[in-house]
Each structure stands twice: as C-alpha cells, then as structure tokens.
Amino acid sequence: MGVQKFFGKVVDVNLSNLSCEHRELEHELVVRFIGGKGIGAKILYDELRPGVDPLSPENILIFATGPLTGTIAPTSGRWAVVTKSPHTGIFLDSQVGGHFGAALRRAGVDILIVRGKSEKPVYLYVENGEVKIYDASHLWGKTIFETEDELKKIHPEAKVGSIGPAGENLVTFAIIGFDYYRQAGRGGAGAVMGSKNLKAVVAKPTSELQYFDEKGMKESVKRLLKLIKEHPVMKKRTEIGTPMWVKMANEGGFLPTRNFSRGVFEKADEISGETMKEKIWVRNKACFGCPIACGKLTHVRDGKYKCNEVEGPEYETIALLGSNCEITPIESVAFLNRICDNLGLDTISAGGVVAFAMECFEKGLLGDTDGLELKFGNADAASELLKKIAYRHGIGELFAQGVKKAAEKIGQGSERFAIHVKGLELPGVEPRGSWGMALAFATADRGGCHQRAWTPTAELTGVLPRFSTEGVAKFVKETQDERAVCFSLVLCDFVPFTVQDFAELLYNATGISLSTEEYMLTGERIWNIIRLFNVGEGISRKDDTLPLRIMEQPSPLGPAEGKVITVDILNKMLDEYYALRGWDQNGIPTDETLRRLGLKG
C-alpha cells in the first residue's frame, strides 16, 4: 500500500496565470524527507535558483503539513511555512500551531505551493482537495483580526491564515496570522504573501484522515498521553506556559535586557509568568490535538494599556518587548503583543528592532524620530514605532527591514550593537549566559533562532557544564537533527517524546518504518540540504557568527558576569561542530557527507 493514501497530496497554485496543478509526492521522497520542513526544504532546493529576490514572483511559498499533522497524535496541530526569507535572504521555515494545519489536511491538501503574483489582491479557499481563487480587494488594508472576522462570516466552518498591513507593505519581518493568535512568525513569510498579492488562505475541513495501523496508532497515543500527563515540566507548561522561563532566565543570567547589554533585569518580577497569571490571565488555550495547552489567553481590562484579548505574551515576546526594551508592567507587554499580532509583525524581531532603536536614540545617532522619545522603558513610544513600521510611515521606514539593514543605514558604530545572526534578530536568550545557545544561534539554518536547539535546560540541570564548550557541539548537532525530523512529521517540540516514540507514530500513520539510526540520518539529510540551499546564497563560516556585542563585551553582572563569547571560543565550538557534521573548515558539506546522506550521486 503506497504512502500516498495517507500523505502526499500536493496542489501547486500559480497566481500569475491563476492555475492549479494537482500531484502526489513520490513514496521515496516522503521516506527521505517526511513532510513539513523536510519536504518544503527539498522543494525549495530543487526549484529555486540561487539569487532569487524573495519578494519577486519567482519565490515559492509552501504551506507544508506533515504525515502526523491533524492526526490523533498529541500536539498534531503543528505544520510549517517554508520559503526564502526576505529578511535574511536565506532558507526559512516557520513552525505554526493552532488549528489551520489540521484543517488544511482535512480539506484534502497536504502541501500547498504558491508561486507567481496575482494582478490584484486574492485569497485561496481550500475544500475537498480543490483550491479556488477569490478576489480579496475588499480585504486589502485590513488588519489580521479584521480579515479573519470578515472571512469567518463568509466561511464560518473554515480556518483562516492572513496578513496584515505589515505584510501588505512588505515589512521584511511580517508574519502570517492563523486562528487570530498563532503565527508563521519569524523571517517575513507575511511579506512574501504580500508580494504575491495574497491576502489570505482559508481551509475548510471536510474529511477524516486514514491510518496505516489505526489500532496501533490509538495504543501509541494512549501511552504518550499518559507520559505527557505525568511529566513535571509539562505540568508547568500547562500552569504557566512558556513565560515560566522569565524567572529562570533572569536567575540564570540570560534574560535579554537593554538590547542584550546584560542578562539580568531588575524588574523581571513585573513581567514574569507568575505575574501574568495573577494579573491578566483569562484561560488556557490549546492548539489542535494538544493536551498541554501552553497557550494563555490574556485580557487587560482597564488602565492605560486596556486592550482586547490576546494569546500570550509568550516568553520570547516578554523577553524581547519586555526586558530587552526595559518595558514594564506585564500589561504593557500584552498591549504591544496585540499590536504586533494585529498589524502583522514578528514580536521577536519587533522587540529587537525597538531595543536597537532605543539604544540608537539614547546614543544620539538618530535624526528626526517623528517626535518619539525612544528611550528604554517607554512603552508608548514603542507602540507608536511599531505602528509606523507596519505602515512604513516616517521613521518606521528606517526599521522596516530589521536591525541589520537599519544599522547599515545609520552607521556611526551602530553595527556593534545590532543584535542579529545572518540578519535575524536574536530571540530570548542572552548567549553570554548560555554558551550552548551561542553555538545554536550561530549555526541555526534560518539565522538567530532558538527552536533548532535549546540548551538552557541542559545547562541549568548539569547535563551540559555552564560557561564551557565541553559537549556543546555534539548536543547542538544532535538536537538540530532531531528537531529537523520533528518539524517534518510535524509535531510540537515541547513534547517529551523519544526518537523511538516519533518513529512509532510515523509507522502507525503511514507504514514508513525508520530505525533510530535512520531517523537521525533523515534529520541530517534535511539539515544538510538546507545548508546546501544557504551555501548557494553565499552562506559559509563567516556567517556562522554572533553579534559583536556578545563577542567583545563581557557581561556586566549576574551569574554570567565577566563572561564573553570570544572569537576563539566560538571557533573552537564551530570546529567541533563542523567535524561532527562532516563539513569542511569553511562550513561547506563535503562530497563524502553528501554521498552518505544520498544528496550526491
């Protein structure tokens, strides 16, 4: 029985000529790259020539579910958006939660490819394996929440993904918003949608999924649900969610503060997960098929930052728009979170940009700021700057392409405190306080990203020694490979599952049997084909680096006081990492490695 019965339905939409082509993924392709991130990476590598402008019609936007998306497996609401990033110019996959991915699969499409550019604004409607293209001129200019409201009136049983003004205006860190509060957040997939005049994608689920071994699937799910229920960290995620990390990061000395100038924030308690739970929490909110429910619906009901409900803020948002900008209280962070979600801005990059702008302002490097007092701690100025960025008005134009491009324009030494890797603003870990994350950020496939390998837990529990390079390269490399497959299945990286658990679920869903060794080899294959894509865009060792502040300035206080990731320290970790990967000293996969992974004949 072919895997196509269970996964592999592709619809390829060309907006330039309004055509839709149907096909199925080959069995061998699914075995080698699974789905989600892996299949998206293979399509992008095969079809997109190096040097393509990410905002041109030639770029490809891929909505890629995996063989476990929408199934009864725990946390199966996950899926991936894959494209070439307009923010970094390299590979981008953005992992998405919520309910849209499950709806897309149950609407009869596993992989939706969008290419070309429509002459006018349109949205796609998916049902029963067919894709229809509808006029969206009446939606252009609306926010994400307004767009979803309007489309829900027309398609009440469907799930919606859309862009806001930031995506329409091609802000390079624009998001795609799904189910109101879930996003393809990092790297600017929303701008790619905007460049194609694609306002939204709507999916109406109409069918149930089939399984290769339904009985086995149910038995696996029963066992894994028990594992999740009894796991102490999962209980904490249910209780507080990702903001549980605010206190831990602050106590550990790696909570980004004042544009990553240090890793300790004296007002961390005002924006902690515990404070959020006490002051603005409404209820927990789960993605499709998730027993953890780490999402927190919050509501600021009165006061200066009164706003409608929002899901979050998550830890990363609190770290970047909160401590990194020295903004308190938690109500103000939720207020900024809602602005970003509604206008369509990535909260991580937004926080990095606002903090950078604040430091530039306080150092006297900015000219006309449209009257904004961009001082650290000024939430009002931050909110106005975010709006100006989304609409590219006034000073917003300067920051609409992120800190790297802004620093190139501002000059005057601002490059030394522009906090990014490969153009992507760093997320919520100050690397001088977490040396594992220093290597993880330097080598992540889409730029500064925390989702490819997460080392703080290992460092705080003694699995990895703190402030040391010992064991870091092996830990980061193996975690990246594991995550590459997890993000191709697609399940959530929060689950406490082993490689064997993932492989068991894949077999029950599709009949594809992978040993532990084959599973890890698949992760390597996916990671390396992405590296090949990025090498084609000019990426090499010179780009596997860190912000100058992190490598030049010792941390001034806290547990990481005096620590700095010098060039020598980073190079030591990179040498070990490249050797484990089978890459040469310049970070290029060797022919031997490519042959071993079946990427070269």
The pLDDT tens digits for 550-595 are: 999 999 999 999 999 999 999 999 999 999 999 999 999 999 999 9
Q: What does each C-alpha distance from 447 to 158, 197, 292, 420, 499 come to in angstroms?
A: 33, 26, 28, 8, 26
Which fold does the domain 3-203 belong to in CATH?
Aldehyde Ferredoxin Oxidoreductase;  A, domain 1 (3.60.9)
Mean pLDDT of all residues in 259-277: 98
What pLDDT score does 233 carry? 87
Start-to-end Cα distance in the chain:
28
Mean pLDDT of the chain: 97
Q: Percentages helix, strand, coil for the chain, rounded to the nearest 5? A: 45, 15, 40
CA distance 95 to 491: 10
What is the pLDDT, as a whole number, of residue 517?
96
Q: Which of residues 340 and 5 earns the better pLDDT score? A: 340
Q: Is the pLDDT of residue 292 over 80?
A: yes
Q: Does the fold of domain 434-495+515-596 match that of domain 235-424?
A: no
Tell me what pLDDT residue 60 has: 99
DSSP 433: G
CB 35 within 8 A of CB 7: yes
Q: What is the mean pLDDT of residues 240-252?
A: 97
Give pairs for 235-239: CB < 8 Å, separation 24+: 237/292, 237/294, 237/494, 238/284, 238/292, 238/293, 238/294, 239/277
| 3 has a pLDDT exceeding 80 | no
The model's confidence at residue 2, banded by pLDDT at 50, 70 and 90, is low
pTM: 0.97
Give the model's pLDDT for residue 1. Answer: 44
pLDDT at 4: 63
| pLDDT tens by residue, 31-74 | 999 999 999 999 999 999 999 999 999 999 999 999 999 999 99
- Whether residue 400 is predicted with pLDDT greater than 60 in this model: the reply is yes
Give the pLDDT mean for 393-405: 99
With 50 as the cut, is the pLDDT of residue 433 above it? yes
Task: Check residues 3 and 35 and name the one with the higher pLDDT.
Answer: 35
Considering the chain, what percentage of its residues have pLDDT values greater than 70? 99
Alpha-carbon distance of 467 to 469, in angstroms, equals: 7
Report, as an integer, the average pLDDT of 188-213: 98
Which band of pLDDT confidence, cut at 50, 70 and 90, is reported for residue 121? very high
pLDDT tens readout for residues 296-339: 999 999 999 999 999 999 999 999 999 999 999 999 999 999 99
Spell out the CATH class of 434-495+515-596. Answer: mainly alpha
Among 580, 594, 451, 469, which Cα is nearest to 530's? 594
pLDDT tens, position by position, 529-558: 999 999 999 999 999 999 999 999 999 999
CA dist 219 → 87, 490, 583 (Å): 43, 19, 41
- Identify the band that residue 600 occupies on the pLDDT scale cut at 50, 70 and 90: confident
The mean per-residue pLDDT over the stretch 203-211 comes to 96
- Using an 8 Å Cβ cutoff, are 307 and 338 in contact? yes
Residue holding tokens 């917003």? 396
Report, at the CATH architecture level, how domain 235-424 is classified: Orthogonal Bundle (1.10)
Render pLDDT for 442-499 as a digit per residue (tens, 0 to 9). 999 999 999 999 999 999 999 999 999 999 999 999 999 999 999 999 999 999 999 9
In the chain, domain spans: 3-203, 235-424, 434-495+515-596
**303: which DSSP letter?**
S
Question: How far is Cα 202 from Cα 180, in angstroms, rounded to an integer?
Answer: 13
